[in-house]
Structure 1
Amino acid sequence: MTDDELLAGVREAFTVLDPVPADVLAAARASIAWLAPSATLAELERDRSARAAAGVRGAANRVLTFASPDGSVEIEVSENGRDRELMGRLVPSMPALVEVRHRDLPPEGITTRAEPAGLFCVPRVPEGLVSLAFRLDDGTTIVTSWIRL
């Protein structure tokens, strides 16, 4: 038996006895479509959960700040059942196409526009791991790190 035959047998055994779950394969395939090699990464700098004041109805909102060498992104996350609403702004202010990337969404995700003042709102974002891609009018892209909402 050659090394190649042995490895083929081991591969077949794992395929039968411990197959890769379909959702893991789907997430891996989708991640290839999300690649943006020339994008600037905006990493999570601050994650604040405001505490609701005593006697005030509703859940407290979460405030996320992502920082990159090109600027920052501030996002307020509001819960609405299983969905989230994202309201945010780009600093410095600039218009951009905003793409929400999520495992349960198609590769183009949910899109909206950030106005010239840098403000944007994205309603009905499913809970789970999310990343935002900002495609600026000058052709550059800023991508946030992944975060669980």
Structure 2
Amino acid sequence: MNDDELMAGVRHAFDVLDPVPESVLAAARAAIAWRTPSAVLAEPAQDRPARTAAGVRGGTGRVLTFTCPGSTVEIEVSENGREREINGRLVPSSSGLVQVRHRDLPPDGITTRAESAGLFCVPGVPEGLVSLVFRLDDGTTIVTSWIRL
């Protein structure tokens, strides 16, 4: 028996005795599909509760700032039951497609456009882990790290 035959026997034993669950394989395939090779990663720089003006009713929320070389993404997340609304802006101002990725959304997620001032709003985002992808009109792609909303 050579090394290849031995490894094939070990692999077969694991496939029979302790197979990888289909949900784990599906999650792995989805993670690879969500990969954006040419994108710049914007990492969290600040996470704080949103401030509510005195005398104004409103739900709880968060303000998050993501930074990457040359750009900043600022978002405010407000809660409405199990859904979230994301209002944000790109600094410096830039227009482009904004995509929200989430496990429970279709592969293209929820999309909207950032206007020329860099402002955008994404309603109806499910609670849970999300990542934002910005495909700017100048050809730049920015991806935020995954955060729990």
TM-score by length of 2: 0.88
Rate the CA distance shift 1:17–1:65 in 2: closer, same or farther, 3 A.
same
RMSD between superposed Cα atoms in Å: 2.2
The residue type equivalent to 2:137 in the other structure is: D
Rate the CA distance shift 1:14–1:48 in 2: closer, same or farther, 3 A.
same
- Counterparts of 1:10-49 in structure 2, within 5 Å, are 10-49=10-49
Aligned to 1:140: 140
Shift in Å at residue 63 of structure 1?
Answer: 0.7
Rate the CA distance shift 1:114–1:55 in 2: closer, same or farther, 3 A.
closer
Listed as ranges, the gaps of 5+ residues in structure 2 are none
Rate the CA distance shift 1:4–1:129 in 2: closer, same or farther, 3 A.
same
Listed as ranges, the gaps of 5+ residues in structure 1 are none
Question: The residue matched to 2:10 in structure 1 has which SS?
Answer: helix
Question: The residue matched to 1:116 in structure 2 has which SS?
Answer: coil
Aligned pairs, how many? 149
- Counterparts of 1:1-149 in structure 2, within 5 Å, are 1-50=1-50, 58-149=58-149
2-side partners of 1:91 and 1:51: how far apart?
21
2-side partners of 1:49 and 1:16: how far apart?
49
Rate the CA distance shift 1:51–1:121 in 2: closer, same or farther, 3 A.
closer
2-side partners of 1:19 and 1:58: how far apart?
49
Shift in Å at residue 6 of structure 1?
Answer: 2.1
2-side partners of 1:51 and 1:19: how far apart?
49
Question: The residue matched to 2:124 in structure 1 has which SS?
Answer: strand
1-side partners of 2:9 and 2:53: how far apart?
62
Q: Deviations over 1:57-96 (max 9, x none)?
A: 6532111100011210011111122221111111111111
- The percent identity for this pair of structures is 77
TM-score by length of 1: 0.88
Shift in Å at residue 97 of structure 1?
Answer: 0.2
1-side partners of 2:46 and 2:19: how far apart?
38
